[in-house]
Structure 1
Amino acid sequence: MRSYGEEIGVVTVTYSPGALLDTFLDSLREATSRRARVVLADNGSVDGAPEKAAREREDVSLLRIGENLGYGGGANRGVAELGPDVGWVVVANPDLEWRPGSLDALLDAGKRWPRAGSLGPLIREPSGEVYPSAREVPSLSHGAGHAALGTVWPDNPWTKAYRRQNLEPVEREAGWLSGSCLLLRREAFDSVDGFDARYFMYFEDVDLGERLGLAGWRNVYVPSAEVVHVGGASTGKPEVSARMQAAHHASAYRYLSGKYPGARWAPVRAALKAGLGVRHRLVTRSAA
């Protein structure tokens, strides 16, 4: 396996992120005392924000992908731009605000957990509410129950078990961590060939966490590190949100059905597709 150094790289996938990108980059400076090279993996921005950031900021470079590869595909391309001196890679949304010292706290946890392949911070909503970002790998019952009912019945027992939202925020292992902010050990990320780019958006982080676990790595939740996820940097418009809902349901089906291949499980896959279809229609109707 390739040997990597101890430098830090930060990859953020951009798609017309607007002024939120400045907040991300400004707060990143206070998140770590170490130098961090930033790659903006751009999926086709038209607002000029990534170009402006790369032009005006030291250690920020722009990678024009030339097409919209989605989140995981864009992140993979960004990571590939980093040299072998980079042994730690942050993959994060551009609509995050880092709390002071938060990246250093993640790096310190990486030293405490030598088999940690991914580490994730405590993520707060703008309201201050803690987002359940460290979850279990979905089983058929929990995953299907959450996927089908999570939006229309948020307090259903399957969603509660899947999200582990009633647990105290202590440093611990998780099945997977939110891809909105991940510190990845480069060796671990490479060992599983990064994100599965077949997931355009959503579930690429679930899939990555599961594959890291199967490869012997750990996914570690580090609540001593905090970020705020503003959200909606490029998905707030109604027409974009509708496409994202469709992508969410397609990714949910790809992930859950992939766990149950073959003719034996065909009825289960059909039930999953039907249930997710009903959920999609309910969510679309509610949004309208």
Structure 2
Amino acid sequence: MTDELKVVTVTYSPGPHLDRFLASLAHATELPVTVIMADNGSTDGAPEDAVARYPNVTLLHTGGNLGYGTAVNRAVDAHVTDGELFIVANPDVQWGPGSIDELLAAAQRWPAAGAFGPLIRDPDGSVYPSARHQPSLIRGGMHAVVGPVWKSNPWTAAYRQERLTPSERPVGWLSGACLLLRRDAFVDVGGFDERYFMYMEDVDLGDRLERSGRQNIYVPSAEILHDKGHSTGRDPARNLAAHHRSTYTFLADRHSRWWQAPLRWTIRGALAARAGLVVRNSRRKQTKGRL
């Protein structure tokens, strides 16, 4: 185990979330920690204030809003050395006591794994389904298309593994809100795919790690709280549209043969229809909220 742990977070005007992230980090591990903030163009002063208040924080300006995965890649290239374990986490995470140490202990138990993820709780205390199967064409496609109108459909339940008791186990992918990663495994698969500006980069990473022979391990003994509405709340309609574009990129990549072109057209059309529905609903709610 390393004597110092690098924690990478991507900031984009994170507001008070960042201070809670940094303050709670002291309870998450007994190791000394260096936090690398890859800043994508914050205008609220929160990253600069954090550097002034926390001596273990380093600020890396990415030069613009490059997207989540690209910013993480830049930080890893600049600050994480070969052979290290490191954390990637959103700045709106609050760390549970010993949560990082639990992830590090799991890394000792699963030497063939490349990624480890904690149990994630929503602000209301409920468990977020952060450890999932890979989205197969049927399971993932049906979840994407019918999920907004039929919440209890069996494809969504199977994909999200909602009916399983939390247990330490290999899964298809883990939420990028918080990951412990082996740098060697991360670099070997090319890091995050920078075509994904936001959303699905964690699904894609989990898939590529698994294809390379590394496991993605869910570690529910480690717990964090995630205020996941922080980033999507600024412009939910725009972000929902981005989610659907990323979903198409992921599925089209996995079904890229020439004879699968009709399938890709069908996926594109279904996702476009779903995106139109959820974006209209989001904008309608925003309009009502202003009245």
Give the TM-score normalised by structure 1. 0.95
CA distance in 2, matches of 1:24, 1:81: 22
The corresponding residue for 1:114 is 111
CA distance in 2, matches of 1:184, 1:85: 12
SS of the residue corresponding to residue 58 of structure 1 reads coil
1:61 positional shift: 0.6
1:85 positional shift: 6.9
Give CA deviations for 1:39-76 in whole Å, capped at 9, x if unaligned. 00011110000111012211101111111111111111
Unaligned runs of 5+ in 2: 285-291
Unaligned runs of 5+ in 1: none
Indicate yes or no: 2:91 matched with 1:94.
yes
Q: How does 1:90-239 map to 2 (within 5 A)?
A: 90-237=87-234
CA distance in 2, matches of 1:160, 1:244: 23
Q: Which amino acid aligns with 2:29?
A: T
Q: Which stretch shifts more, 187-196 or 151-160?
A: 151-160
SS of the residue corresponding to residue 106 of structure 2 reads helix
Indicate yes or no: 2:250 matched with 1:255.
yes
The corresponding residue for 1:33 is 30
The corresponding residue for 2:236 is 241
CA distance in 1, matches of 2:214, 2:82: 21
Give the TM-score normalised by structure 2. 0.94
Aligned residues: 283
Aligned residues of 1:16 and 1:234 also touching (Cα < 8 A):
no
SS of the residue corresponding to residue 233 of structure 1 reads helix
CA distance in 2, matches of 1:5, 1:98: 20
Q: Which stretch shifts more, 148-157 or 122-131?
A: 148-157
Runs of 4+ aligned residues of structure 1 deviating over 4 Å after TM superposition are none
SS of the residue corresponding to residue 31 of structure 1 reads coil
CA-based RMSD: 1.4
1:284 to 266, 279, 283: 279
Identity %: 54
SS of the residue corresponding to residue 81 of structure 1 reads helix
SS of the residue corresponding to residue 37 of structure 1 reads strand
Q: Which amino acid aligns with 1:65?
A: T
1:233 positional shift: 2.4
Aligned residues of 1:124 and 1:227 also touching (Cα < 8 A):
yes
